[in-house]
Chain A
Amino acid sequence: VIWMTQSPSLLSASTGDRVTISCRMSQGISSYLAWYQQKPGKAPELLIYAASTLQSGVPSRFSGSGSGTDFTLTISCLQSEDFATYYCQQYYSFPRTFGQGTKVEIK
């Protein structure tokens, strides 16, 4: 099983801030990583796959980087609709696993 450490678990920020979320793997996964956004009461939505490829329709203020064991999700200019919980997920091996989540809240 590949264990994932996502940090921070809670991030307080203001509209317009640049924020970064980290996801670290217990072993290398090349670029087989996705990022999802989840709002309360809703299903997760795919933001980024292959570590850095933006899903169609996702605003360009979202970006992903990294490979191997260390990955980052960056939101360049936080908007009100971005306050949500974010999860990373590896699809390098089975079972698929998710990070613990990062809640981005209004400061």
Chain B
Amino acid sequence: QVQLQESGPGLVKPSQTLSLTCTVSGGSISSGSYYWSWIRQPAGKGLEWIGRIYTSGSTNYNPSLKSRVTISVDTSKNQFSLKLSSVTAADTAVYYCAREPYGYNLDYWGQGTLVTVSS
């Protein structure tokens, strides 16, 4: 059973960079045709897709965030990461990592981690 777990600071100051890591267990991040994704959800609001990465390093980003987002993968640690630069209060949200089989739906999700942007 694949499991995903987000980790990283819960509080980030405005204008700084938000950094989160998703650790995958129960299987190799490199096995199979899977993309690895980040999604976020502001409190009381809907879901926003941030972007995804394949283990080759190929990425796709949401154009609304593209200038500030970097997603990377470390296959040796079975992890992938999110960096979001120049954050503002509007970036306060629960951030989820998820697996996307064959570039389709999102079948396994992490539990989510709340990141608050505040001074």
Contacts and interface: CB of A to CB of B under 8 A. Distances in A.
Contacts of B109: 43-45
B105 A89 contact: yes
Contact of A95 (B62, B98, B106): B62
A55 B107 contact: yes
A54 to B, nearest CB: 12
B110 A87 contact: no
A46 interface: yes
Interface of B: 37, 46-49, 60-64, 96, 98, 100, 103-107, 109-112
A46 B105 contact: yes
Interface string A40-66: 001111100110000100000000000
A91 B101 CA distance: 11
B105 A34 contact: yes
B62 A44 contact: no
Contacts of A97: 49
B110 A43 contact: yes
Contacts of B111: 42-43
Contact of B46 (A49, A50, A87): A87
A98 B96 contact: no
Contact of B112 (A43, A46, A89): A43
A101 B62 contact: no
26 contacts: A1-B63, A34-B105, A36-B106, A43-B98, A43-B111, A44-B47, A44-B96, A44-B106, A45-B109, A49-B104, A49-B105, A49-B107, A50-B104, A87-B47, A89-B49, A91-B104, A91-B105, A94-B60, A95-B49, A95-B64, A96-B62, A98-B47, A98-B49, A99-B46, A101-B46, A101-B47
A101 B41 CA distance: 12
Nearest to B61: A95
B115 to A, nearest CB: 15
Contacts of A100: 46
A37 to B, nearest CB: 11
B104 to A, nearest CB: 5
Given A50-B104, A95-B63, 14 more contacts: A34-B104, A42-B111, A44-B109, A46-B107, A49-B104, A50-B105, A87-B46, A89-B105, A91-B105, A95-B64, A96-B37, A96-B62, A98-B46, A98-B48
